[in-house]
Amino acid sequence: MRNLNFRLDVGELYLRLLEEKDIPDLLKLYVDNAEFLKPWEPARSPGFFTPEGIGYIIRADQEASRADEAYAFGLFLAENDRLIGRYRLSWIMRGFAESCNLGYFLAEPFNGCGYSTRAVRRLVQFAFEELGLHRVAAATMLENIGSQRVLEKAGFHREGMALRYLKINGHWEDHFLFAITKEEFLS
């Protein structure tokens, strides 16, 4: 079994797997950013914004990490250990694919600081070097220019568009598809 107690340093930031002790901080992060995230995320039930709802997500993510199916990280400011984002490598496929999907969000006050680009680069490095994956994919809604810029700056290339790809805020939304392979990352 893979050691799940690690910290990925990213300059004045760090990433680590979310734990049950993070429930209050993750709940606050979601509550404080609910309106900001609403256009980009699935519709959330009222039960999501509770300690029980967030606890369920963290426990499910921990189980997925133990099974090597997904890894959910918090992005923290190193100076005060403040949780400012959530980044997740999911849909891990082994065997002939060796790939995963990346999803993330950063608290609104920290957008535009380069934090997500650096965090995404570090997670891609983790995916290739620690998890042994070959490809990391991501998708953004067509209007999410900020997220597209993060991916492009992190070395991803746009592969195409998926019609009605994900149900976001109650509507099936088209998404641009992005990816990076190990060969591209190492070049």
Binning pLDDT at 50, 70 and 90, where does residue 5 land? confident
CA angle (160, 161, 164) in 5-degree steps: 160
Residue matched to tokens 């849909």? 91
The per-residue pLDDT for range 150-180, each reduced to its tens digit, is 999 999 999 999 999 999 988 999 999 999 9
2 pLDDT higher than 70: no
CB atoms within 10 A of CB 72: 21
The rounded distance, in Å, linking the Cα atoms of 154 and 115 is 11
Residue 111 DSSP label = T
In this prediction, residues 109-135 reach a mean pLDDT of: 97
Domains and CATH numbers, the chain: 7-186 (3.40.630.30)
* Segment 70-86, tens digit of pLDDT: 999 999 999 999 999 99
Q: ∠ CA(74), CA(153), CA(42), 5° rounding?
A: 50
pLDDT, average across residues 55-69: 97
Q: What is the pTM of this model?
A: 0.94
Assess contact for 18 and 61: CB atoms under 8 A: yes
Structure tokens of 182?
Answer: 């190990």
> Tens digit of pLDDT for each residue in 6-39?
789 999 999 999 999 999 999 999 999 999 999 9
Q: Is 21 exposed, middle or buried (0-12, 13-18, 19+ CB in 10 A)?
A: exposed
- H/E stretch holding 87: strand 82-93
Sheet of 171-181: strand order equals 7-10, 13-17, 71-77, 82-93, 99-106, 135-141, 171-181, 157-168
Give the confidence band of 1 by pLDDT, cuts at 50, 70, 90.
very low
> Could you count the other beta carbons within 10 Å of the beta carbon of residue 6?
11
